[in-house]
Amino acid sequence: MNVTLRQLKVFEMVARHLSFTRAAEELFLTQPAVSMQIKQFEDAAGLALFERLGRKIYLTEAGEEMYRLSRDIMSKMSEADLILDEIKGSEGGRLLVSVASTVQYFAIRLLAGFCKQYPKVNVNLKVTNHKGLIQLLENNETDIVLMGKPSEGLDLVSEPLLENPLVVIAPPNHHLRDKKGILLSELKNETFLMREQGSGTRTSTERFFAENGMKISANMELNNNGAIKLGVEEGLGLGIVSQHTIDNEVKTGRLVILDVQFFPLVRTWYMVRREGKRLPAVGVAFENFVRQEKLRFVRLP
């Protein structure tokens, strides 16, 4: 069968998401380009690999078999990359790091420090929420992840990294800004800007309020910290964010931290990888750099 690696990669992505659109997005291709690759693959195979029922696509029997094989081939290809990286040593090579959106500010500084020490390293950084990171780990699409505590039961190795205090932020003209020891009940009538489902910050905030018998009104859901901070600055409501993400805004007086009972809620960031995952030399160098140098890059207001 005369199939190119590129066709295999496109096929694997469409089969994984069962969506031409998602595959096109992830591969930075247009949808017609994806359809063309799949068509050429099917022509070479002499069989249909997908079938369309209504608006959904499904793998055919041949498609299922090819999906299993293509994952094996892709994983062998990354193994080949690893072996070449090992030969190159930590001087060069590619580092796949993924971080939670609360970690991104710290992670960028950390990576800048790391790249100064290892200027030939090629870094690929993905920023997403807790749920997205678990998916990346499960799909073996990343080497190292910096994130909130992953749930038990997954085959992951996690080591605690730093405290991640969550605080309540408000615009500087908020009526509670100078009040000490604000009671939770005093926030009853406040509106909160919440992170999206799948965010670790959202899960722990909801859990905290539920444990304290309080239902907060979340009129607006925003899928990143930057948007929450801007929304709070604009007076749309209060936010609950990691203290690591607001250094600049607090310094310049655009946001204030409210002194609320039980806050900060202290979570922990972890450095996580799949158990048994063979890290490239550059990955091992990065892990050691994080362990030794992390405190240099922390900026808390």
- Summarize as ranges the residues that interact with ligand PGA (CB under 6 A): 100-102, 129-130, 147-148, 195, 199-201
Minimum gap (Å) between residue 147 Cβ and ligand PGA: 4
Residue closer to ligand PGA by CB (options 122, 268) is 268
Peptide bond into 264 cis (omega under 30): yes
Residue closer to ligand PGA by CB (options 142, 201) is 201
Minimum gap (Å) between residue 102 Cβ and ligand PGA: 4
Residue closer to ligand PGA by CB (options 174, 195) is 195
Residue showing the smallest CB distance to ligand PGA in the complex: 200
Minimum gap (Å) between residue 132 Cβ and ligand PGA: 8
Residue closer to ligand PGA by CB (options 63, 239) is 239
Residue closer to ligand PGA by CB (options 90, 102) is 102
Mapped to the 3 state alphabet, what secondary structure does the chain carry? CCCCHHHHHHHHHHHHHCCHHHHHHHHCCCHHHHHHHHHHHHHHHCCCCEEEECCEEEECHHHHHHHHHHHHHHHHHHHHHHHHHHHHCCCCCEEEEEEECCCHHHHHHHHHHHHHHCCCCEEEEEEECHHHHHHHHHCCCCCEEEEECCCCCCCEEEEEEEEEEEEEEECCCCCCCCCCCECHHHHCCCEEEEECCCCHHHHHHHHHHHHCCCCCEEEEEECCHHHHHHHHHCCCCEEEEEHHHCHHHHHCCCCEEECECCCCEEEEEEEEEECCCCCCHHHHHHHHHHHHHHHHHCCCC
Residue 157 pairs in a beta bridge with: 273
Minimum gap (Å) between residue 240 Cβ and ligand PGA: 10
Residue closer to ligand PGA by CB (options 94, 274) is 274
Q: If we measure between CA atoms, which residue out of 11, 15, 16 comes closest to residue 41?
A: 11
Minimum gap (Å) between residue 148 Cβ and ligand PGA: 2
| Site of tokens 């749930």 | 151
Residue closer to ligand PGA by CB (options 29, 240) is 240
